[in-house]
Amino acid sequence: MIKEYETKLGSVKIDTERTIIFEYGIPGFENLKQFVLLEPEDTYPIMWLASLEDKNVAFPVTFPQLIRNDYQFTLPQDLTEYLELAKPEDAIILSILTIPEKEDEITINLAAPIIISQKNRKGVQYLIENEEYKIRHLLKEELERSKAILSVQKDGE
């Protein structure tokens, strides 16, 4: 069913099947349960995890592997069961960005990614227990790091 919602990015028509349910909320926004992933072409690969219940709430998100190309973690079994993830492709992994006025200060949260199940449309913000991943990484540094890894791999060929 197509329904119209007011979001931070304006009024959007959304197939209710695309609704993502954050049953346990998102830290700081526990009262909001229904979200949708908006993928406007003019901001892609930055997408927006927008609340369908509070039009002021939309988190800018992107695929963490675009920023840190060797990003990986293991989900605990209770979470893969909750999200009904039979294979890795069943999950959409996103990281929240913070984009302040200064471009050099843009950060990405690699410690607590958003995990969305394509199987049951449930979502969680999961905290990875890995000291390598912090809540604030400078986007600029991460992009440079990934670029350096890629160039080393190329040289090795």
Nearest distance in Å: CB 60, another protein: 5
Which of 3/45 has CB closer to another protein? 45
Which residues neighbour 132 within 8 Å (Cβ) at sequence distance 6 or greater? Answer: none
Which of 1/102 has CB closer to another protein? 102
Residues β-bridged to residue 7? 10
The answer to whether 66 touches 45, Cβ cutoff 8 Å, is yes
Which residues neighbour 109 within 8 Å (Cβ) at sequence distance 6 or greater? Answer: 95, 96, 97, 98, 135, 136, 137
Which of 63/121 has CB closer to another protein? 63
Which of 5/95 has CB closer to another protein? 95
Nearest distance in Å: CB 17, another protein: 17
- Write out the DSSP string of 30-47: TT--EEEEE--TTTTTSE
Residues near another protein (CB under 8 A): 24, 26-29, 43-46, 56-60, 62-63, 65-67, 72-75, 78, 80, 82, 85, 87-89, 91-93, 96-101, 103, 106-107, 109, 111-112, 125, 127, 135-136, 139-140, 143
